[in-house]
Amino acid sequence: MAHKTSTGSTNNLHDSPGQRRGVKCFGGEWVNAGSIIVRQCGTKFAVGKNVGIGRDYTIYATVPGHVQFTGSKKKYVNVLPAQEGPVQQGHVQQDPVQQDPVQEG
């Protein structure tokens, strides 16, 4: 007979790191082409205009512009190109400078 009782073995001691899913660029943010907007499992967010979807359902921008989320039941992700997007705060869009011909004489 053993003089000491054995201790019980335990399982599930180790934990794996998270997979960092979720929204990476929020509505109104500026993104460049190829920027990841949403990492997701399945199509929680649907593909809208000017975005693409990877084989792991990652949604990314195909053109530079501002991110827009639309829809109430199903969320759609769009990217508004630079001309159509809202003006950022503190950023002034300038009109092209028109030079007047110099009058001599």
User: What are the structural domains, with CATH classification, of the chain?
Assistant: 22-79 (2.40.50.100)
Write out pLDDT tens, residues 12-40: 788 889 999 999 999 999 999 999 999 99
Contact 12, 24 (CB under 8 A): no
Write out pLDDT tens, residues 56-83: 999 999 999 999 999 999 999 999 998 7
CA quadruple 25, 30, 36, 38: dihedral, nearest 10: 30
Higher pLDDT, 57 or 95: 57
